[in-house]
Amino acid sequence: MALLSQQTSAAINIAGPCPNKPASDRCTTCILDSSDYFSALSLEVKRALQEFLQFKSFDRRALLYREGRSGENLFILMSGEVKVYKSLSNGRQQIHKLAVIPGDLIACEDIYLDKYSSSAEAISPVTVCYLPKAHLQSVISRHREVPDALMRSMARNLNSYIRNIANLGQKNALERVASYLLFLYETHHERNLHSEELRESLTRTELADMIGVTQRTLIRGLKKLESDKVIALVKDGFRILDQKTLEYLSAGG
């Protein structure tokens, strides 16, 4: 029966619970099977990566790593939300990535660097699996599939960053706010959260820094969208009332 189960698992390329951990420490399913970055890897490669995966949790506002420190790990998000940012000379933060979908990679852009080029902070309680880079390099040396998957991830992150810069340069403040609300809506549904209210973990200061406006301008934009009945402001986030108008504004209409 065990042999048949193993053959079935291999046939559908599902790594399943990590066989290298005590039963009490195993996840019910492996994040490698559901991550967009790793799910297509062969079962042999997933099992090789599983051997070195370590689970860790972070409280809200805890740092996963700090800019300039030794870059030791690649992180795979399991739950929660993480902001990746660079610290500016004026004390503000430039947020260039939000990791919110289980399976998202964090610190992938630093995988071939000795030090982290940014900081990563939990903006809600977070759980991750992390992979020490020394062990990752060992797997890479044996399996060419892995660097190909990581390169696709870095290209995806770069394209996202370029789109973000284009948005900041070409859109006015209200259009930027609308674009962010649509991003929140899309990621909300990608996480299979189907409630009408979109929970927001960023503070107003963080959101203003991320979309490149002042906090006062951000609040004015949100209030206008609310007065125009495009959104409703709720305790911990937003409710979209008129998605078509939001899409029109986001597109520069």
Residue 155 has, within 13 A of its CA and on its CB side, a CA count of 7
Residues 84 and 207 in one domain: no
| Pick from 249, 86, 87: nearest CA to 180 | 249
Question: What CATH number did the domain enclosing 239 receive?
Answer: 1.10.10.10
Residues 111 and 200 in one domain: no
Residues 188 and 138 in one domain: no
Strand order in the sheet with 197-199: 197-199, 237-240, 231-234
So what's the pLDDT on residue 8? 46
Residues 76 and 152 in one domain: yes
Residues 115 and 27 in one domain: yes
227 within a domain of the structure (yes/no): yes
So what's the pLDDT on residue 131? 94
Domain range holding 52?
Answer: 20-165
Q: With contact defined as beta carbons under 8 Å apart, do 50 and 18 qualify?
A: yes
Q: What value, to the nearest 5°, has the Cα angle with vertex 136 and ends 151 and 109?
A: 40
Residues 90 and 147 in one domain: yes
Residue 193's identity, in one-letter code, is: L
Residues 140 and 216 in one domain: no
Residues 123 and 182 in one domain: no
24 within a domain of the structure (yes/no): yes
Write out the two tokens for 50.
């599983």
DSSP strand pairing (197-199 vs 119-122): unpaired
Domain end (from 121, 136, 165):
165
- In the chain the first and final C-alpha atoms are separated, in Å, by 61
**CA pair distance 4, 56, nearest whole angstrom:** 33
Q: What DSSP state is assigned to residue 61? A: T
| Pick from 199, 111, 211: nearest CA to 169 | 211
**CA pair distance 27, 191, nearest whole angstrom:** 19
Domain end (from 134, 165, 196):
165
So what's the pLDDT on residue 134? 92
From first to last of its 253 residues, the chain has per-residue pLDDT tens of: 444 444 444 457 898 888 888 888 888 889 999 898 899 899 999 999 999 999 999 999 999 999 999 999 999 999 999 999 999 888 888 888 899 989 999 998 898 899 999 999 999 999 999 999 999 999 999 998 898 888 887 787 777 667 767 766 788 999 999 988 988 888 887 676 666 788 888 999 999 988 888 999 999 999 999 999 999 998 888 999 999 999 999 887 6
Q: How far is CA 163 from CA 113, 166, 170, 220, in A?
A: 24, 5, 10, 24
62 within a domain of the structure (yes/no): yes
Domain end (from 139, 165, 191):
165
So what's the pLDDT on residue 12? 77
